[in-house]
Structures are given as C-alpha cells and as structure tokens.
Amino acid sequence: MSLWIAIAAVAAGSFLIKGIGPAALGERELPKWSTGILALLAPTLLAALVVVEVLGRRWADFDATVLAGLAAAVAAYLLRAPMLLAVVAGVVTTALLRLALG
C-alpha cells in the first residue's frame, strides 16, 4: 500500500514541479540570485545519485567492474560518441569483464 502512495505522491509532485515554472513565470525572467543556486542543483543531485547507485547501503553494492564500465562510457562520450552508444560501450565493458573474471 505504501508503495502505491509513494508512486502517487511522486507522480503528483513531479506534475507540480514541471508545471509550476511555466505557469507561474510566464514571460518573465528569473531573479538573478536564484539561477546560480538552481544551476547547482542538477549536477549535485546527479553526482549524489550516481554514488548512491554505485555504492549502495554500507557500500555493499561496490563492484569494480561497474566502475570500469562507467569509465568506458565516459571515455566513449568524451571521444564524441553519442550518449546511447557510450552507454552501450559501458555495458559491454562491464559484461566482458564479468565474463572474463568468471
């Protein structure tokens, strides 16, 4: 039951988050002080999210083959591979390493 509540709450919250900017602001521009902080939100969250996903609770999910896969994806992306291809490079790298390491 609490799962359904969580799903509904996140859906409703996301609707509000996506809608409130266009609805409230309209044609006006943002105050300058807020844009600096808002601009930091995305990179901070993304970095924390990746860490949480890769390490897991008590770092129990830590897996060197995942780090190698992420490194491969980043390398491919920096070499101007499209995003999807870079992700595939990461997935394949991790799969091959796991195969090789048994």
Q: How far is the CB of 50 from another protein (least distance, A)?
A: 5
Token pair for 86: 């870079």
Q: How far is the CB of 47 from another protein (least distance, A)?
A: 4
Q: How far is the CB of 73 from another protein (least distance, A)?
A: 4
Any contact of residue 79 with another protein (CB under 8 A)?
no
Which residue has 């070499």 as its token pair?
79
Q: Which residues contact 72 (CB under 8 A, 6 or more apart)?
A: 89, 90, 92, 93, 94
Position among 79, 80, 84, 101 found at the interface with another protein (CB under 8 A):
84
Token pair for 6: 């969580």
Q: How far is the CB of 37 from another protein (least distance, A)?
A: 6
Near another protein in 29-68, by CB under 8 A: 29-30, 32-33, 35-59, 65-66
Please state the length of the chain. Answer: 102
65: nearest Cα among 21, 26, 100: 100
Near another protein in 3-22, by CB under 8 A: 3-11, 13-15, 17-22
